[in-house]
Structure 1
Amino acid sequence: MKAGKADISYEVPWTLDTAYCHDGIPLSNGVLGALVWFQDQTLMLTVNRADYWDHRGGTVWRDDCTYDHLKALLTSGDFESARGLFPTAKVNGKEKRPTRLAMGRFEVKLQPGARIQSASLLLTEGEARLVCHVRGEEHLIRLTVAIDQPVLLLSDPDSLVTAVKPVPSYSFARTKAYFDDFGIAAPTSLKDGWVQELPEDPSCAVLLHRQEGMFAIAAEYGADPEDAVGRTRAILDAYSRAAAGYDGIAAGTREHWRSLWREAADIHLPDDEIERMYYLGIYRMLGSSMPGRIAPTLQGPWVEEFRNPPWSCDYHFNINVQQCLWPAYGANLLDCLMPLFKMIDGWKPILARNAKRFVGIEDGYMLGHSVDDRGHPVGGMWTGTIDQANTSWIAQMMWQYARYAGDEAFMLDEVHPFMVKTLRVFHQMMERDGDLYSLPVSVSPEFGGSSPRGLARNSTFFLVNVRFLCEKLLELEEKYAVDPEAAAMAADIYAKLPPYTAGPRQFQEFSTKPGLELYLWEDQPLSESHRHHSHLAGIFPFDTMDMDDPAQKEAAMNAYRSWVDKGMGRWSGWSMPWASILHNRLGSPDMALLSLRLLKDVYMMPSYATRHNANYRGFSEFTGGDVMQVEASIATAAAILEMYVSCVRGTVHVFSGLPGRFKDASFSGIRTEGAFLLSGVKSSGKVRTVTVFSERDDTLRLANPFGGRAAIRKDGSLTWTEEDVIVLELRRGECLVLENAENGGTAANG
Structure 2
Amino acid sequence: MNKKMVLDRIPHQFCEGPFWGNGKMGAVLYVQNGKLCISVDHVGLWELRETLPDMPKADFQEILAHKKEFIAGDPRYVEQTDIFGDNIGRTRLPSLAVELSLPGEIASFLAETDMLEAGTGLRLEMKDGKVFEGEIWLDSCVNVLGIALHGEGAGELEVKALGWDLDSPRLKPLKDWHYEPCIQTEENGLVTVRQHFGGSRSAVLSAGRRETKYSMEAQHSMEAQRSREAEGLFLAVSIETGDQAEEADMAAAGTKLVQDYLDNRDSYLEAHRLDWKTFWDGFAVEVPNERLQEAFEQELYKLYCNEREDSSPVTLQGVWNPNNRMPAWFGDLHNDLNVQSCYWPAYKTGNVKLVRPYIDYYSKAVPRFMERAYKLFGIKDAIHIPTMMAPDGTGAASEWCYWNSLLGPELFVAVDFTWFYEYSREEDTLRDKIYPFIEKVLHLYQGIAIEKEDGCLHIPFTTSPEVDRDGHMLLADDATFTLSCLHYLCRKMNGYAQKLQLDGASWLAWSDRLVPVKTNEKGLPVYAGVDVFASHRHFCHLYPIYPLCEEAHNELAQRSLDTAINQGFLEFAAFSCPYLGIMAARCGRGNMSRTMLELYCMVFRSRNSFTVNGDPYQNGILRISDTNAGESSDAFTLESGFFIPTALCEMFVHRAKDTIWVQMGMPDEWKTCSCRELAVEGGHRITSEREDYSIRRILLKAGCEETLTLRWKDDTPVKRVMRNGTEMEGCGQKSLTLEVLPGEEFVIEFE
TM over 0.5: yes
Tell me the C-alpha RMSD between the 2 structures: 3.0
Corresponding residue of 1:272: 290
Q: Does 1:119 align with 2:111?
A: yes
Superposed displacement of residue 712, structure 1: 0.5
Superposed displacement of residue 64, structure 1: 6.8
1:715-750 CA deviation, whole Å, 9 max, x = no partner?
A: 32243245554122222222121010x2xxxxxxxx
Corresponding residue of 1:619: 621
* Partners of 1:648 and 1:341 in 2: CA distance: 23
Q: 488, 493, 499: which is aligned to 2:510?
A: 493
Q: Name the TM-score, length of structure 2 as normaliser.
A: 0.88
| Contact kept in structure 2, 1:59 and 1:377, CA below 8 Å | no
* Partners of 1:57 and 1:349 in 2: CA distance: 18
* Partners of 2:39 and 2:63 in 1: CA distance: 44
Question: 1:557 and 1:707, CA in 2 relative to 1: closer, same or farther beyond 3 A?
Answer: closer
SS at match of 2:329: helix
Question: 1:672 and 1:90, CA in 2 relative to 1: closer, same or farther beyond 3 A?
Answer: closer
Corresponding residue of 2:525: 519
Q: 19, 43, 47: which is aligned to 1:50?
A: 43
Using the TM superposition, name which of 696-705 and 418-427 deviates more: 696-705
Superposed displacement of residue 331, structure 1: 0.7
| Contact kept in structure 1, 2:210 and 2:262, CA below 8 Å | no
| Contact kept in structure 2, 1:712 and 1:738, CA below 8 Å | yes
Superposed displacement of residue 706, structure 1: 5.9
| Contact kept in structure 2, 1:392 and 1:422, CA below 8 Å | yes
Q: 62, 79, 82: which is aligned to 1:69?
A: 62
Amino acid at match of 1:315: L
* Partners of 2:267 and 2:239 in 1: CA distance: 21
Amino acid at match of 1:163: E
Question: 1:518 and 1:114, CA in 2 relative to 1: closer, same or farther beyond 3 A?
Answer: closer
Amino acid at match of 2:361: M
Corresponding residue of 1:169: 164
Superposed displacement of residue 395, structure 1: 1.9
Tell me, which stretches of 5 or more residues in structure 2 are unaligned?
A: 213-233
Question: 1:23 and 1:542, CA in 2 relative to 1: closer, same or farther beyond 3 A?
Answer: same
Using the TM superposition, name which of 83-92 and 410-419 deviates more: 83-92
Q: Does 1:15 align with 2:32?
A: no
Q: Name the TM-score, length of structure 1 as normaliser.
A: 0.88
Amino acid at match of 1:396: V
Amino acid at match of 1:729: E
Amino acid at match of 2:100: V
Superposed displacement of residue 81, structure 1: 8.3
Corresponding residue of 2:120: 128
Kindly, what percent of the aligned residue pairs are identical? 19
Superposed displacement of residue 93, structure 1: 6.6
Corresponding residue of 2:181: 186
* Partners of 2:509 and 2:253 in 1: CA distance: 61
Corresponding residue of 1:731: 741
Corresponding residue of 2:420: 401
Tell me, which stretches of 5 or more residues in structure 1 are unaligned?
A: 2-8, 504-514, 743-750
Which runs of structure 2 are paired with 1:463-478 in the superposition (5 Å)?
463-477=483-497
1:124-151 CA deviation, whole Å, 9 max, x = no partner?
A: 2222221457999987412122334432
Corresponding residue of 2:195: 196
Superposed displacement of residue 628, structure 1: 0.8
| Contact kept in structure 1, 2:124 and 2:132, CA below 8 Å | yes
Corresponding residue of 1:219: 239
Corresponding residue of 1:583: 584
Corresponding residue of 1:528: 534
Q: Does 1:630 align with 2:638?
A: yes
Corresponding residue of 1:717: 727
Superposed displacement of residue 210, structure 1: 0.9
Question: 1:140 and 1:347, CA in 2 relative to 1: closer, same or farther beyond 3 A?
Answer: same
Superposed displacement of residue 663, structure 1: 0.8
Q: 651, 663, 675: which is aligned to 1:667?
A: 675
Amino acid at match of 1:160: A
SS at match of 1:616: coil
SS at match of 1:124: coil
| Contact kept in structure 2, 1:470 and 1:490, CA below 8 Å | yes
Superposed displacement of residue 163, structure 1: 1.6
Superposed displacement of residue 108, structure 1: 1.8
| Contact kept in structure 2, 1:97 and 1:312, CA below 8 Å | no
* Partners of 2:69 and 2:26 in 1: CA distance: 47
SS at match of 1:273: helix
Question: 1:60 and 1:250, CA in 2 relative to 1: closer, same or farther beyond 3 A?
Answer: farther
* Partners of 1:614 and 1:388 in 2: CA distance: 30
| Contact kept in structure 2, 1:704 and 1:723, CA below 8 Å | no
Which runs of structure 2 are paired with 1:595-614 in the superposition (5 Å)?
595-614=596-615
* Partners of 2:9 and 2:130 in 1: CA distance: 19
Superposed displacement of residue 307, structure 1: 0.7
| Contact kept in structure 1, 2:590 and 2:667, CA below 8 Å | yes
Corresponding residue of 2:228: none
* Partners of 2:332 and 2:683 in 1: CA distance: 32
Superposed displacement of residue 251, structure 1: 2.2
Corresponding residue of 2:271: 252
Q: Does 1:208 align with 2:200?
A: no
Question: 1:137 and 1:729, CA in 2 relative to 1: closer, same or farther beyond 3 A?
Answer: farther
* Partners of 1:249 and 1:537 in 2: CA distance: 44
* Partners of 1:481 and 1:91 in 2: CA distance: 45
SS at match of 1:249: helix
Amino acid at match of 1:257: W
| Contact kept in structure 1, 2:44 and 2:241, CA below 8 Å | no
Corresponding residue of 1:286: 304
Q: Does 1:679 align with 2:698?
A: no
| Contact kept in structure 2, 1:383 and 1:454, CA below 8 Å | no
Corresponding residue of 2:383: 365
Equivalenced residues, count: 712
* Partners of 1:240 and 1:24 in 2: CA distance: 27
Corresponding residue of 1:565: 566
SS at match of 1:294: coil
Amino acid at match of 2:180: A
Superposed displacement of residue 166, structure 1: 3.5
* Partners of 2:562 and 2:94 in 1: CA distance: 43
Amino acid at match of 2:240: E
Corresponding residue of 1:6: none
1:177-225 CA deviation, whole Å, 9 max, x = no partner?
A: 2222222223335564643222524122334211244211222335439
SS at match of 1:590: helix
| Contact kept in structure 2, 1:266 and 1:669, CA below 8 Å | yes
Superposed displacement of residue 445, structure 1: 1.1
Corresponding residue of 1:377: 395
SS at match of 2:439: helix
Question: 1:113 and 1:314, CA in 2 relative to 1: closer, same or farther beyond 3 A?
Answer: closer
Question: 1:271 and 1:547, CA in 2 relative to 1: closer, same or farther beyond 3 A?
Answer: closer
Amino acid at match of 2:486: V
| Contact kept in structure 2, 1:88 and 1:95, CA below 8 Å | no
* Partners of 1:221 and 1:684 in 2: CA distance: 54
* Partners of 1:482 and 1:539 in 2: CA distance: 30
Using the TM superposition, name which of 654-663 and 133-142 deviates more: 133-142
Corresponding residue of 1:417: 436
Superposed displacement of residue 558, structure 1: 3.8
Question: 1:201 and 1:299, CA in 2 relative to 1: closer, same or farther beyond 3 A?
Answer: farther
Question: 1:81 and 1:597, CA in 2 relative to 1: closer, same or farther beyond 3 A?
Answer: closer
Amino acid at match of 2:654: S
| Contact kept in structure 1, 2:690 and 2:696, CA below 8 Å | yes
| Contact kept in structure 2, 1:643 and 1:658, CA below 8 Å | yes
Question: 1:341 and 1:712, CA in 2 relative to 1: closer, same or farther beyond 3 A?
Answer: same
* Partners of 1:431 and 1:684 in 2: CA distance: 57
